[in-house]
Structure 1
Amino acid sequence: MKQLLNNLKGDKVIWTFVALLALFSFMPVFSASSNLAYMGHGTGNTLGYLLKHLAHICIGFAIIYWVHKVPYHYFRAISKVALPVVWILLAYTLIKGTVIAGANASRWIQVPFIGITFQTSTLAFIVLMIFVARYLSKKRETPVTFQNSLWELWAPVFITLMFILPANFSTAALMFAMVVMLTFIGKYPLKYIGFIIGMGVAALMLFILMSKAFPDAKFFNRVHTWESRLENFTTDKPDEDDYQIEKAKIAIASGGIQGLGPGKSVQKNFLPQSSSDFIYAIIVEEYGLIGGITVLALYMLLFFRFIVAAHKANSLFGKLVVVGVGFPIVFQALINMAVAVELLPVTGQTLPLISSGGSSIWMTCIALGIIIGVTKKEEEVAAEKEEKEQREETLRRMIDAQIKREEEAEAALLAGETPESYSIEDKTNPMNAVLGKT
């Protein structure tokens, strides 16, 4: 174990917070999976779901370990090559993707020979943010023109969002917001950002108008769901999403200060997405306000460490990568919690590292591995600097000692004495090795 911990490089605080969130996730997932265990005349045994979640977490930490070993600057070139591959996967998902839990959205693809489903938009999120960070770091030294950036930066961004938007509006909106945030931090001209936001809103309006013109087209079948969720959020009209929100609020109200206790949730048997989208409500019901605030605090502390890591990064690309792939993790967690307390409409965003689900956990772990890889490079640079300073200090002391001995020898010669203990040509003198004497 000690050897394993020694092999974990990078920011140890980030490692700690990630481990705490992952360890805490087992009890809520084990408890909240009961409705899935009973679904389809099941036995109600949630042990299988717990073991499945354990496998996802273990694979996730293996991913973090492997990714953090890769020099983070490799991802500059990888993002440029991976983006077209992501477009192909997104297009395939949109046309022939798998539908899960009766949803009317194709967001997953079946991985051949493995039998697991994979949500391609989560991979696209990471690749796109690294691609944007690459562009901003490359163009920092040269003036940015709107026309050039429109083709080199925003065209790939809008192509990616175009493939995600029809099936997953919340992810597309979050991705667009994070890209805009990253360009702002990367000092992309503010007036151009205003134009891009206007173009994004116009494109969304055009998409909605096309859905009205072709209401039977499969490509636009999610627009009705968006409208329904927005209407449910602003009115008291009963609906399935409204049912979930009501059960989530009942769960939160039942938790009180200390909660009902681990595994004693009642609303987990009524919430359809109790182990994923609405797991925060189950956490508050079982662990109370104390548990809910603790989870929120862990995410905010992780957010603070991301800021520290970005500040310490030794390159502009490293700083932007930490912001680009790190901040969305925390914002996604905040959105999930806001939905549970009805501050936002239902979005379908999971709670990173806590909600059940393989692809979401693994993609979060890839992002964390990249961030830790950036902090690992910082440590390596600091260690090299310290080693260089130690070598220079040692050489300085040896030179000072050499000069002092030569001065003593010269003083002895002037006094007519023969210094028996020292000779400038003494081959045992350690400075001879430094100065190249033989």
Structure 2
Amino acid sequence: MTAFLRNIKGDKAIWGVVALLALFSFLPVYSASSNLVYVVGTGTTMGHLVKHGLLLFLGFGIIYGIHRIPTHFFKGLSIIAMPVVLVLLIYTLAQGTTIDGANASRWIRLPLVGFTFQTSNLAAVVLMIYVARYLTKIKDRQISFKESILPLWVPVALVIALILPANFSTAAILFFMVLVLCFLGGYPLKYLFSMVAAGILALTLFVLTAKAAPDLFPNRVDTWISRVESFWDPADTEADYQIEKAKIAIASGGLVGNGAGKSVMKNFLPQSSSDFIYAIIIEEYGLIGGFALLFFYLLLLFRIVVVANSNQTIFGKLLVVGVGLPIVFQALINMAVAVELFPVTGQTLPLISSGGTSIWMTCLAIGIVLSASRNNGLPEKAREEMDESNPLEVLSGQL
């Protein structure tokens, strides 16, 4: 154990925050899983707890393994991974409509282990690394919009277009994060406005096409529209039902909460162990628990900014922001949905909600951030030697 701890490098505050969030997650997941057991009729509470523990154990294995990889290697790896995620996204859309009776347009089932895998989460991480690599490549020169279309915007458009039919919220968040990263990376602002306009136009055409030919994307566009409409004008819809139950849970929690495991609304609130787990946390631990959880996510954001600012390479800075910022942004959106500050999105609470893909991809991103924080202590000469020794840089430089 001592030897293992000696090999843990990187920002210790990030390690501590991630460990605390993971340990705390066992309490609300165990409590909220009773909804899956007694209402949905899936498994046992202990079974869900063990599964969550296994997912976190594998997640921390991912963090440990990834944080040992030198940061500059991710440049070349993003080139290799981009075609892979495009194939996975295409396969996910083409595989069918259901897995065990549920919509399967977001997941593929992993053979042997029995877990399902949400390919859009992996695609999001890979795309942010890819964009960071491209912005690093052009940092010292002026570019035209035309010459950036093929290497930058075509991959971005392909990934988002393949995610959009099944998961609008993830596609929208990913597009917004790409724009933020491009802005921070010095990409011309006038070109970004052009891409915003192009994105709005493409979304409008997609919605019109889906409405004109509803068999192409059954129920998806109607679901998006109903969620937005119920947010602005509450009606008797499923999204409104979820929000109402979430608000009841938050109101009953009060200042200090009802106590661990004593939530009542977990038995009535759909997705109480994933999308709406924050409402259950406030019901059981009160506003104090809710604000404490928010504080830790903001602390994670602060440390991500510190790591990015301390990194001596442009790629390191952009990489940390690109993969780290979406974690906190997703957490804030999940919380905003629970308190009705945002329409229902289906985004989980990172490291807290049950669900394998979300946990693993969050851990992958955290591992990358920690990898960058390890390099902050290296002298410039050592970093340059590492860059020159990376065989994948030859491939990424040519592309």
**TM-score normalised per structure 2:** 0.93
Whether the aligned pair in 1 keeps the contact of 2:304 and 2:324 (CA below 8 Å) is: yes
For residues 309 and 9 of structure 1, the distance between their equivalents in structure 2, rounded to whole angstroms, comes to 13
Name 1:302's counterpart in structure 2: 300
1:243 partner SS: helix
For residues 96 and 348 of structure 2, the distance between their equivalents in structure 1, rounded to whole angstroms, comes to 20
Superposition pairs of residues 231-242 of structure 1, within 5 angstroms:
231-242=229-240
1:7 Cα deviation after fit: 1.1
Deviation digits for residues 358-387 of structure 1 (CA, Å, limit 9, x no counterpart)? 1110000000000000001112338979xx
Deviation digits for residues 260-286 of structure 1 (CA, Å, limit 9, x no counterpart)? 000000000111200000000000000
1:2 Cα deviation after fit: 3.0
Name 2:107's counterpart in structure 1: 108
Structure 1 pair 17–29 and aligned structure 2 pair: CA distance change class (3 A)? same
Alignment of 1:153 onto 2:163: no
Name 2:371's counterpart in structure 1: 373
Of 137-146 and 283-292, more deviation after overlay is shown by 137-146
1:379 partner SS: coil
1:33 partner SS: helix
Q: What do you get for the CA RMSD once the two structures are aligned?
A: 1.7
Name 1:23's counterpart in structure 2: 23
For residues 171 and 356 of structure 2, the distance between their equivalents in structure 1, rounded to whole angstroms, comes to 20
For residues 287 and 376 of structure 1, the distance between their equivalents in structure 2, rounded to whole angstroms, comes to 35
Whether the aligned pair in 1 keeps the contact of 2:249 and 2:282 (CA below 8 Å) is: yes
For residues 98 and 339 of structure 2, the distance between their equivalents in structure 1, rounded to whole angstroms, comes to 27
1:42 Cα deviation after fit: 6.1
Name 2:14's counterpart in structure 1: 14
For residues 42 and 130 of structure 1, the distance between their equivalents in structure 2, rounded to whole angstroms, comes to 37
Name 2:162's counterpart in structure 1: 163
Deviation digits for residues 171-195 of structure 1 (CA, Å, limit 9, x no counterpart)? 0000000000000000100000000
Larger Cα Rg: Structure 1 or Structure 2?
1
Structure 1 pair 315–287 and aligned structure 2 pair: CA distance change class (3 A)? same
Of 102-111 and 23-32, more deviation after overlay is shown by 102-111
1:237 Cα deviation after fit: 1.2
Whether the aligned pair in 2 keeps the contact of 1:98 and 1:107 (CA below 8 Å) is: no
1:221 Cα deviation after fit: 3.5
Structure 1 pair 383–154 and aligned structure 2 pair: CA distance change class (3 A)? closer
1:41 Cα deviation after fit: 4.8
Structure 1 pair 174–101 and aligned structure 2 pair: CA distance change class (3 A)? farther
1:118 partner SS: strand
Alignment of 1:328 onto 2:322: no
Whether the aligned pair in 2 keeps the contact of 1:166 and 1:220 (CA below 8 Å) is: no
Name 1:55's counterpart in structure 2: 54
- Counterpart of 2:172, as a letter, is A
Superposition pairs of residues 382-393 of structure 1, within 5 angstroms:
none
For residues 105 and 258 of structure 1, the distance between their equivalents in structure 2, rounded to whole angstroms, comes to 39
Alignment of 1:121 onto 2:145: no
Unaligned runs of 5+ in 2: 384-399
Whether the aligned pair in 2 keeps the contact of 1:10 and 1:379 (CA below 8 Å) is: no
For residues 283 and 383 of structure 1, the distance between their equivalents in structure 2, rounded to whole angstroms, comes to 48
Deviation digits for residues 307-343 of structure 1 (CA, Å, limit 9, x no counterpart)? 0000011200000000000000000000000000011
For residues 383 and 98 of structure 1, the distance between their equivalents in structure 2, rounded to whole angstroms, comes to 53
Superposition pairs of residues 334-349 of structure 1, within 5 angstroms:
334-349=332-347
Name 2:269's counterpart in structure 1: 271
Structure 1 pair 186–384 and aligned structure 2 pair: CA distance change class (3 A)? closer
Name 1:397's counterpart in structure 2: none
For residues 221 and 133 of structure 2, the distance between their equivalents in structure 1, rounded to whole angstroms, comes to 33
| Bigger relative CO (Cα 8 Å, ≥ 6 apart) | 2
Q: 2:310 aligns with which of 305, 309, 312?
A: 312
For residues 268 and 98 of structure 2, the distance between their equivalents in structure 1, rounded to whole angstroms, comes to 22
2:108 partner SS: strand
Unaligned runs of 5+ in 1: 386-438
1:97 Cα deviation after fit: 5.2
Whether the aligned pair in 2 keeps the contact of 1:133 and 1:324 (CA below 8 Å) is: yes
Name 1:33's counterpart in structure 2: 33
Name 2:3's counterpart in structure 1: 3
1:53 Cα deviation after fit: 0.5
Q: 2:284 aligns with which of 283, 286, 291?
A: 286
1:140 Cα deviation after fit: 0.5
Superposition pairs of residues 196-211 of structure 1, within 5 angstroms:
196-211=195-210
1:5 Cα deviation after fit: 1.8
- Counterpart of 1:256, as a letter, is G
Structure 1 pair 101–352 and aligned structure 2 pair: CA distance change class (3 A)? farther
For residues 241 and 172 of structure 1, the distance between their equivalents in structure 2, rounded to whole angstroms, comes to 19
1:150 Cα deviation after fit: 1.3
Whether the aligned pair in 2 keeps the contact of 1:105 and 1:168 (CA below 8 Å) is: no
Superposition pairs of residues 185-204 of structure 1, within 5 angstroms:
185-204=184-203
2:376 partner SS: helix
Name 1:72's counterpart in structure 2: 71
1:4 Cα deviation after fit: 2.1
Alignment of 1:359 onto 2:347: no
1:353 Cα deviation after fit: 0.2
